[in-house]
Structure 1
Amino acid sequence: MRMQRAEGPRRAPGALEAEVLTILWEAEDPLAPAEVQDRLEGDLAYTTVVTILSRLYDKGVAAREKQGRSFRYHAVEDEAGLAARQMTKVLDNEPDRTSVLARFVSNLSMSDERELRKLLGKPGAKD
């Protein structure tokens, strides 16, 4: 007998991973898959939650620790760290990094440009 998915709007690609990651960021301690499942919106199967947690672990954005016969998960990085990792991944996949960086920098707002200059320790950064 085949189980049917509960009717309702489908999540956008990657949305479920983002929801799970947000739950991990907000948790003070590592969570078991059942605890993540309880905090998620909607009626998701336990196996689906385990699959998402395993994917996040495989991507290196979640870590896990063995407790008994199962794992507890926690986020490896905060949101800023994850965004930085994604930006690095995009650069790593581009054959012309210089052009990508130049385009990125040329599209920064003045305040973002000042922040970048401060971070790089370049002259011209005004507080």
Structure 2
Amino acid sequence: MRRLGDLEAQIMDRLWSWGRPATVRELVDDLNKQRPLAYTTVLTVADILHGKGLLQRQKQGRAWRYEPTRSREAYTAALMQDALDVSPDRSSALAHFVERISQDEQEALRQALRSLTGDQPE
């Protein structure tokens, strides 16, 4: 899974934040608060995201309503998995990753691992 381009990320961020399907018109109106974008540009990028499987769409009248196919967290996990997949030494890559994250993030990782394995903290 490739990282999102700038406009792709902005579209996905809005849809994840809103937590509801939205039309291209709604996206354009919100995006235009920061920079001018043509309706057709946003439509094209939304269609690309749909083609990549990141958005699903449903027809409503003459417009499509788009919504993410996965959560922001699931997307991030897929990026992390892809990053691990390119390393010939996954254990070392994981160790380097853990060295770079904060103590709070390390504890969150420990808790996630415990919840998956059913282990209780000592």
Q: Which amino acid aligns with 1:30?
A: P
Once the 2 structures are TM-superposed, how far is the Cα of residue 82 of structure 1 from its aligned partner? 2.3
Q: Which amino acid aligns with 1:54?
A: D
Percent identity of the aligned residues?
A: 38
Q: 1:72 aligns with which of 60, 65, 69?
A: 65
Q: Which residue of structure 2 aligns with residue 26 of structure 1?
A: 17
Matched ranges for 1:108-119 at <5 A: 108-119=101-112
Query: Higher relative contact order at CA 8 Å, sep ≥6: structure 1 or structure 2?
Result: 2
Q: Which amino acid aligns with 1:116?
A: L
Cα RMSD for the two superposed structures: 2.6
Once the 2 structures are TM-superposed, how far is the Cα of residue 91 of structure 1 from its aligned partner? 1.6
Once the 2 structures are TM-superposed, how far is the Cα of residue 79 of structure 1 from its aligned partner? 2.8
**What is the number of residues matched between the two proteins?**
114
SS of 2:22's partner is coil
Q: Which residue of structure 2 aligns with residue 10 of structure 1?
A: none
Matched ranges for 1:42-121 at <5 A: 42-121=35-114
Structure 1 CA distance for aligned equivalents of residues 89 and 61 of structure 2:
48
Once the 2 structures are TM-superposed, how far is the Cα of residue 125 of structure 1 from its aligned partner? 4.5
Give the TM-score of the pair, scaled to structure 2. Answer: 0.72
Structure 2 CA distance for aligned equivalents of residues 57 and 94 of structure 1:
29
Give the TM-score of the pair, scaled to structure 1. Answer: 0.70
- Which structure's residues are more often helix, by fraction? 2
The structure with the largest alpha-carbon Rg is 1
Per-residue deviation, residues 104-124 of structure 1 (Å, max 9, x unmatched) = 123333332222222212779
Q: Which residue of structure 2 aligns with residue 3 of structure 1?
A: none
Distance 1:75 1:110, change over 3 A: same
Runs of 4+ residues over 4 Å off in structure 1: 122-126
For structure 1, which runs of at least 5 residues remain unmatched after alignment?
1-12
